[in-house]
Amino acid sequence: MLLSLNISNFAVFENVSVNFDSGFNVFTGETGSGKSVLIDAIQLILGERASKNLIRKGNSSALIEGIFDTLENDNLYLILKDLNIEIDKDDFLIISREILDNGKSINKVNQRTVPLSTIKAIGNYLIDIYGQFGHESLFKKENHIKLLDSLIQSELSPIFGVYNDLFVKYNKLSNDISILKEKLLNKDNKIEQLKYEINEIDDAGLKEFEEDELLKKIKKLSNVQEIKKSLNESLRIINSDSLNNIYSILHKIQNYDEKFEDFLSRLEIQMEELKLLAYDLRDYSDNLDLDEKELNTIENRMSLINRLKRKYGYSIEKIFDYRNSSYEELNLLLEADSKLNSLVAQKNKFYKLLTEHADQIS
């Protein structure tokens, strides 16, 4: 129900507010007093196209705002939900249109800017304007079922409610059956493909962090010669006489200051540490060899992983995800015939119930 209409700078009106009561409301007045302008304003907030010629002379814009009570208008709530406009049944619906002098308009529903098509869609559920040249919802075929339903609900509300619930479930089953039948096209080929892909991934025996470990090994084996060269150079420096020379120099002057004894002691510790380090470096170098066979094995393994990544995902984790989803899809396909029979049986059951309730309603 339209509760109030607020108009600013529109046609002959500067500022007008009209409040409506439930029941019969009448506009009276002489010719030219603005009765038709009120109807024009109402049509605008229902989604009619606006013209800049409707702006009151001397102004750059016109504003029309309608406030509606939405109680008991279930069809309106459905269309608002479809348009992603949230509103409670206790709230008012406020539609406003600001007409600009450049011919454009700013359209809002509850302070949210929307396209004109949205206001027009909502307007179809708010008001019917009957007149010689007005639009009449009675003549629109798409409204016939809605009008019939609105009359039925008042008389057979409980049965109609059950029928609606059954109809929703029936449509969902029909949709589920269509989707499942679509999946069953080329079912055998799809099953073979899924089995092949699952087996290919399983046979690879992938491990979660395997790729990082393989890359580390490739990096090491590919640089064996450089590593051995650097180790040998380090051993040469450690085994040189440099530290012994330092020790000899400090030893000569240790009697001049007791601090030198501390320096010598610390140097001896470092020299022992370096001996141990030299032993470990030599042992590492002696056991480091370029194993071409091992390197080839690792590189082949990496090639396999990269091939699977190109097919099934950009990481081992994604490959596992693909494998799991494929396994679920395979099971669904293997059980699809049984599932389809079950859905068809349920659909037939709901169809029978729908027919029984439809007979009661009609």
Using one digit for the tens of pLDDT, what is the confidence trace for 133-188?
Answer: 445 556 667 666 666 666 655 555 677 778 888 888 999 999 999 988 887 888 88
Residue 277 in contact with residue 238, Cβ under 8 Å? Answer: yes
- CATH code of 135's domain: 3.40.50.300
pLDDT in tens, 231-272: 999 998 888 888 888 888 888 888 888 888 899 999 899 899
Residue 275 lies in a domain: no
CA max distance for the chain: 128
> pLDDT tens digit string along 97-112?
999 999 899 999 988 8
Kindly provide the b/e burial profile for residues 18-33, where b requires at least 16 CB atoms within 10 angstroms of the residue's own CB. Answer: beeeeeeeeeeeeeee
Question: Is 327 exposed, middle or buried (CB count within 10 Å of its CB: 0-12, 13-18, 19+)?
Answer: middle
Query: What is the model's pLDDT at position 134?
Result: 47
Q: How far is CA 97 from CA 94, 126, 134, in A?
A: 10, 16, 20
Residue listed under structure tokens 């439930």: 22
Structure-block tokens of residue 229: 């060269």
Question: Cα(249)–Cα(342) distance, rounded to whole angstroms?
Answer: 96
pTM above 0.75? no
Domain membership of residue 125 (yes or no) is yes
Does 293 map to a domain? no
The amino acid sitting at 167 is F
Residue 341 lies in a domain: no
Given a cut of 60, whether residue 76 has pLDDT beyond it is yes
- Two tokens, residue 12: 């002959």
Q: Please report whether residue 74 resides in a domain.
A: yes
Give the structural domain span for 59: 2-153
pLDDT value of residue 129: 67
Is residue 88 one of the residues assigned to a domain?
A: yes
How many domains are contained in the chain? 1
Q: Quick one: tokens of 178?
A: 């269509």
Judging by beta carbons within 10 Å of its beta carbon (0-12, 13-18, 19+), is residue 163 exposed, middle or buried? buried
Task: Confirm whether 182 is domain-assigned.
Answer: no
Evaluate whether residue 130 is within a structural domain.
yes
